[in-house]
Amino acid sequence: MNRIIAFSVFCTLLFIIACFTEQSSGELPIIGHREIVNKDTIYHTIPDFIMMNQDSMIVTNSTFENKIYVADFFFTFCTVICPKVKANMLRIYEEFEDDDRLVLISHTVAPKYDTIPALKRYADKINIDSKKWHLVRGEKETTYQLADDYFIVAKEDPTAPGGYDHSGKIMLIDTKRQVRSFAEGTEDKEVDRLIKDIYKLLNSEFGKGH
């Protein structure tokens, strides 16, 4: 969980950094640790993964090649934060539904119960197209490690409602797998800002007027 702890500290500085970055270049900051290798700056990136979505299709990093995407973690029977986060993910889905440059992905933290049929029922319930929004499941430990790379808490917790504890953050990832922005998915105003950041990243990655 070291990345998550570091990320929590980083959050207190993010908006200051973002303000200076926005004023100087109009671009979003690159979030996460970085290191210098042979005078080159190496940024934190989302690692390779293999998951399966609600339509039994394999989803990997190549699914998002030349695209930006937003990601969150959930489980279908969550009754606490997930309904609010999914409502805001739906806002993003509908805002960019006709823009092929953006894709959404939601990782279940409860693959034992969230089978492919369960994910399909959930997708049908919220009326989404799997070409645009992937609800995916993978091995539990792989999923939890991936959450760490997104700076998100995800774990089994018998004391938590539904038996799982996870963050409600929505993360914005660029075409290089770098984390560029985030929002608390339960907060409408934060998601409003994230939507603006998505437009900003689209302009940065693909050019204005694309």
Band of residue 39 on the pLDDT scale cut at 50, 70, 90: confident
Residue 89 lies in a domain: yes
Residue 22 lies in a domain: no
Give the whole-angstrom CA distance, residue 161 versus residue 208. Answer: 44
Number of domains into which the chain is organized = 1
Residue 14 lies in a domain: no
Residue 73 lies in a domain: yes
Residue 9 lies in a domain: no
Integer CA distances (angstroms), 95 to 18, 125, 138, 180, 194, in order: 23, 19, 28, 19, 12
**In the prediction, which pLDDT does 21 show?**
42
Q: In terms of pLDDT, which residue wins out, 39 or 91?
A: 91
Give the whole-angstrom CA distance, residue 133 versus residue 15. Answer: 28
pLDDT at 59 exceeding the cut of 80: yes
Domain of residue 200: give its range: 45-206
pTM over 0.85: yes
pLDDT at 176 exceeding the cut of 70: yes
Residue 57 lies in a domain: yes
Contacts (Cβ under 8 Å, ≥6 apart) of 27: 21, 200, 204
Write the CATH number for 104.
Answer: 3.40.30.10
- 74-89: average pLDDT: 96
Residue 4 lies in a domain: no
**In the prediction, which pLDDT does 36 show?**
80
Residue 182 lies in a domain: yes
Band of residue 23 on the pLDDT scale cut at 50, 70, 90: very low
* 72: three-class secondary structure by DSSP: strand
